[in-house]
Amino acid sequence: MSQFDVCVIGAGPGGYVAAIRSAQLGLKTVIIEREYMGGVCLNVGCIPSKAMISASHFFHRVGHDAAEMGINVGEPKLDMKQLQKWKQSVCDKMAGGVAQLLKGNSVEVIDGEATFKSKDELVVKSKKGDVSVRAKNFIIATGSRPIEIPGFKFDEKDILSSTGGLALSELPSKVVVIGGGYIGLEIAGFLSKLGTHITVLEAGAELLSGVADKEAVQVVARKLKKQGVNVITQAKAKSWKKSGKGLEVTAEVGGKDQTFECDKVLVTVGRKPNSDQLNLKGVGIQMDERGFIKVNPQMKTNLPGIFAIGDIAGQPMLAHKASHEGVLVAEIISGKNRVFDAKTIPAVIFTDPEIASAGLTEEQCKAKGFNDLKIGKFPFAANGRAVSVMETDGFVKIIADAKTDIVLGVHIVGPEASNLISEAVLAIEMGARAEDIALTIHPHPTLGETMMEAAEATLGHAIHIIQRPLREGAKSAPART
């Protein structure tokens, strides 16, 4: 039996980061992983989906924009098997990198599935038989998996989860996507660009409901429509059956049943925590009604020495949140006085255009009692770089408190929103005012200038759009002290 300072369960972006940081801090560390280094993120989540999205974007642009730029390459042809091979090589490279980092930091790796035997001992079912592991501290980072809905059991042949949707070796001609959230729209977006006809059935009244700025979502919805994606809201998928060579999905739309023909059904209605296979109840670790482990702001569970991080510890289920928590917990275990006190966890939805946000939406500002807001918006259509890369849809919106000028939220829909948002995160973390962003010299010609101009717009004086002059005594920024 081995004894460690830290035992991490799950090698996703939460677990492997926690293990590396623990080892950096001199703690004797082991990590247990049952399936793949890098977890969902590197193998069947963030990385493969972004690889497919970037390939489809390239494919689409070659077919649509190249000729306008005077580049005539003819009709692009898709080799789906080669695309999958390339995507897999990206994932393998990243997962291999994680294995090397763990080794280089002297983290012991055990391949196998862990279950708690007691609150200070695990049993790992490995290829070499059962292994017992004892540790002073356990970090549970076992992540999440796709939710199934009644009647749509995943077989990854007809009924696909996100994992199947990312692994198609042939391009389907028609796909019905159930759920118009993060995953549904990212996969629908790339399949549609590669040539699949997509119907999205969303149960709610809007796409991406409650997770993104409403105006930003409208920009994406318009582009999806232009691309030929059929979005049906308030649609409840009820059943499916084989029909001829394909499938037929029945959904209730506005009280009436409608049928939709397709080759595949992709179900993306959310994810649930992997908390049911660890004997957590048996050792007395508290969970909420949905199976997420309850933690305090130091990611401590109710049992001393047992922590939980990443998807298993609740929303938002994002890789960067998992990694942040991994570092946090390793440092707490090593004796540092830390607590989860991030002011904002940015979120990006890799649609076309991308949606990225940090801080509060207008509705959240109002709910928190910020009633007097200054909102500046700057369109990508007025930015030279965006025009030169032919990606002019969307805008940057900055929301600041009218009394203090402090930035409360930033919402970007447009090219490279995923990369642009980090400036907003830093601004919010540092308690910046909109004026700080406006006075920061941004290089030209860059997409980043849209941040500066949106900040200027909150103050009423963006240069490259027409703004009515501020009235005397109107909501201008207070003078700097």
With CB under 5 to 8 Å by kind, the binding choice for 277 among ligand FAD, ligand NAI, none is ligand FAD
Check: CB of residue 23 under 8 Å from CB of residue 29. yes
User: How far apart are CB 217 and ligand NAI at their closest, in Å?
Assistant: 11
Q: Which is nearer to ligand NAI, 318 or 358 (CB)?
A: 318
CA pair distance 421, 452, nearest whole angstrom:
12
Task: Pick between residue 110 and residue 178 the one whose CB is nearest to ligand NAI.
Answer: 178
Instruction: Choose, by CB under 6 A, the member of 13, 112, 143, 180 that binds ligand NAI.
Output: 180
Instruction: Identify the CA nearest to 187 among candidates 357, 87, 50, 89.
Output: 50
411 part of the active site: no
Q: Is residue 411 within 8 Å of 417, Cβ to Cβ?
A: no
Q: Which does 433 bind (CB under 5 to 8 A by kind): ligand FAD, ligand NAI, none?
A: none
What burial class does residue 88 get, using C-beta atoms within 10 Å of its C-beta: 0-12 exposed, 13-18 middle, 19+ buried?
middle
Q: Distance (Å, rounded) from C-alpha 462 to C-alpha 441?
A: 14
* Number of other residues whose CB lies within 10 A of the CB of residue 61: 16
Give the one residue of 91, 94, 114, 407 binding ligand FAD; rule: CB under 6 A.
114
Which of 293, 345, 317, 297 has the alpha carbon at shortest distance from 9? 293
* Cα three-residue angle 411-316-320, rounded to 5 degrees: 80
Stretch that binds ligand NAI, among 117-125, 198-206, 289-297, 399-407 (CB under 6 A): 198-206
Q: Is beta strand 354-359 parallel, antiparallel or unpaired with respect to 407-414?
A: antiparallel
Identify the DSSP state of 13: T
Spatial CA neighbour of 99 closest among 200, 11, 212: 11
- Element spanning 362, H or E: helix 362-367
Gyration radius from the chain CA atoms: 24
Contact pattern for ligand FAD over residues 264 through 283, marking x by CB under 6 A: ----------x--xx-----
- Minimum separation from the CB atom of position 14 to ligand FAD (A): 3
| Distance of alpha carbon 41 from alpha carbon 167, whole angstroms | 14
Which residue of 11, 175, 420, 455 would you call a contact of ligand FAD, by CB under 6 A?
Answer: 11
Residue 110 or 398: which CB sits closer to ligand FAD?
A: 110
Q: Does 204 bind ligand NAI (CB under 6 A)?
A: yes
Closer residue to ligand FAD in complex, CB, 41/477: 41
- Tell whether residue 406 is a contact of ligand NAI (CB under 6 A): no
- The reply on whether position 352 binds ligand NAI by CB under 6 A is no
User: Is position 442 an interface residue for ligand NAI (rule: CB under 6 A)?
Assistant: no
The residue (of 90 and 203) whose beta carbon lies closer to ligand NAI is: 203
Q: Taking CB under 6 A as the rule, does residue 402 contact ligand NAI?
A: no
- Residue 477's Cβ-side half-sphere holds a number of Cα atoms within 13 Å equal to 25
Which of ligand NAI, ligand FAD, none does residue 269 bind to, with CB < 5 to 8 Å depending on kind?
Answer: ligand NAI
Q: Which segment (73-81, 129-137, 182-190, 374-382) binds ligand NAI by CB under 6 A?
A: 182-190
Does 53 interact with ligand NAI (rule: CB under 6 A)?
no
Query: Does 36 engage in binding with ligand FAD (CB under 6 A)?
Result: yes
* Binding track over 220-259 against ligand FAD, x by CB under 6 A: ----------------------------------------
Cα-Cα-Cα-Cα dihedral sign, residues 128, 131, 136, 137: positive
Given the residues 320, 444, 461, 464, select the one marked as catalytic. Answer: 444
List the interface residues with ligand NAI, window 261-320 (CB under 6 A).
Answer: 268-271, 316-318
Say which entry of ligand NAI, ligand FAD, none residue 202 contacts (CB below 5 to 8 A, set by partner kind). Answer: ligand NAI
**Residue 204 DSSP label:** S
Three-class DSSP category at 404 = coil
Pick the closer one to ligand FAD by CB: 308 or 408. Answer: 308
Tokens describing residue 146: 């796709």
Distance CA 352, CA 391 (A): 10
Closest alpha carbon to 344 in 311, 321, 373, 362: 321
The only residue of 22, 137, 162, 361 in contact with ligand FAD, by rule CB under 6 A: 162
Read off the amino acid at residue 385: R
**Which tokens is 416 given?**
């490279």
Catalog residues that contact ligand NAI under the rule CB under 6 A.
Answer: 149, 178-184, 186, 201-204, 209, 236-237, 268-271, 316-318, 348-350
Residues tagged active-site: 444
Interacting residues toward ligand FAD by CB under 6 A: 9-15, 32-36, 39-41, 45-46, 49, 113-114, 141-144, 162, 183, 274, 277-278, 310-312, 317-320, 322, 350
